[in-house]
Copies of this chain bind each other. A is one copy, B any other.
Amino acid sequence: MNISPKKISDHQLEDQEISINHQKLIDATIETIAKRGLGDTTIAQVAKKAMVSQGYANFRFKSKENLLLSSLKFLSDEYKNSWQRIFEDNNLDPVGRVIKIIENDFSGKIANRNKIAVWVSFYSEVKFRPSYLSICQKQDEIYSSQMEKLIKEVNILNNQSFLTPREISETYLSMVDGLWQRILFDPKMYSHVFCKDLIKKYFRNIYADEKRFV
């Protein structure tokens, strides 16, 4: 019992991240964008959802732009953590890893309509706000290169030579982006199962002997 409460030093604001309100506001931002779109997201609405005053939201994040940026960063990190873990999992062989990656990319936590709506909102502004671009781009580069390396291992094990690892990995990445977008349009038709199966079929076609790509 007696959980030592907070014991927050006088440096409590040294690192913004430790505040509860900080995260409440970010969550509220994501929810609001998901429900109303980036264009119709106002500080007032976000603050209301986070149950703090409007003035506070602005004070805390300095500006709306900064709040949006922090929310994108959060989403981006969340995604990154999810695949990072898979690439680093030593209990998996290459093909097992690929399968986990596919499952992660179409898991409920990642590929749900709300989060996709937020992603696409930010994507759509990438051309005009370099700060959005740099957040998205850096992580995508890492994901790309990790994926390519992984496919290289799979290729060797299955002596596949017609398609290069780069080609396979780029095809995979573009399919994922495309399918996510399609989930936004028609989530019934593009169910998680449908998407995963489509991608597994792609791999099955390349690696004919590998039975795990159902």
Q: Which residues of A contact B (CB under 8 A)?
A: 34, 36-40, 113, 117, 120-121, 123-128, 133, 136-137, 140, 162-163, 167, 170-171, 173-179, 181-182, 184-186, 198, 201-202, 204-206
What is the distance, in angstroms, from A64's C-beta to the closest C-beta of chain B?
12
**Could you say which residues of chain B place their CB within 8 Å of the CB of A113?**
127
Q: Are A184's CB and B128's CB within 8 A?
A: no
Q: Are B37's CB and A124's CB within 8 A?
A: yes
What is the distance, in angstroms, from A50's C-beta to the closest C-beta of chain B?
21
Residue of B40, B125, B140, B185 near A126 (CB, 8 A) is B185
**Given A117-B127, A123-B181, 6 extra CB contacts under 8 A:** A34-B127, A120-B124, A126-B184, A171-B175, A173-B178, A174-B178
Q: Are A205's CB and B162's CB within 8 A?
A: yes
Q: Are B120's CB and A185's CB within 8 A?
A: no
Nearest-CB residue, chain B, relative to A180: B178
Q: Roughly how many angstroms separate A51 CA and B97 CA in the complex, as a whole number?
A: 57
Nearest-CB residue, chain B, relative to A162: B205
Q: List 15 A-B contacts (CB under 8 A).
A: A37-B125, A120-B123, A121-B124, A126-B184, A126-B185, A127-B184, A163-B205, A167-B201, A173-B178, A174-B198, A175-B175, A177-B178, A178-B178, A181-B181, A205-B206
**Could you say which residues of chain B place their CB within 8 Å of the CB of A204?**
162
Q: Roughly how many angstroms separate A206 CA and B206 CA in the complex, as a whole number?
A: 9
